[in-house]
Amino acid sequence: MLPHLLDKGMSPSELTGMLYRDSGLLGLSRISHDMRTLLNSDTDNGQQAIDYYVFRIRRELGGLAAVLGGLDGLVFAGGVGENSAEIRARVLDGMEFLGLGVNEAANAANETRIGAGRTPVLVIQTDEERVIARAVVQRLGAGGATT
């Protein structure tokens, strides 16, 4: 598709903008890339973007469980995973066959342990920027520097 768009006259900078700014949740919803905004939206496009987001997580989770032969645990992290009880509940809905369930009170309270099945479900705070910075420092060979 990318070569086709370039052949049709899209400039490399337009293509970059489309891929990095205008795709994903923003492209699907035509509202925002921010899940908080979408969760507060009552538009069909906003709800469809959320539905697709949850669908993709569930699809990948099922695929990983199949490849791994089951799950030892599930961790929600990052912006949405850490902060959206609604998204976590929607991801876990109907996943009891994998041993996944949600303790609604613990989930609503943003507790660390939110599972209600045989497979542990955790919410773990992350510092993604620090992890990225450390990886860059290590890759650049500045192993002695810390962030």
The helix or strand, by DSSP H or E, that contains position 136, with its residue range, turns out to be helix 128-139
Residues 6+ apart with CB under 8 A from 107: 85, 88, 89, 114
Q: Which of 14, 18, 48 is nearest to 31 (CA)?
A: 48
pLDDT of 131: 87
Q: What is the pLDDT along the chain (147 residues), one digit of tens a residue?
A: 888 888 888 888 888 877 777 777 778 888 988 889 999 999 999 999 999 999 999 999 999 999 999 999 999 998 899 999 999 999 999 999 999 999 999 999 999 999 999 999 999 998 888 889 999 999 998 655 555
Could you state, in order of their start, the residue ranges of all structural domains in the chain? Answer: 1-70, 71-147
pTM of the model: 0.78
Q: Which of 102, 107, 103, 98 is nearest to 72 (CA)?
A: 98
Domain 71-147 has CATH 3.30.420.40: yes
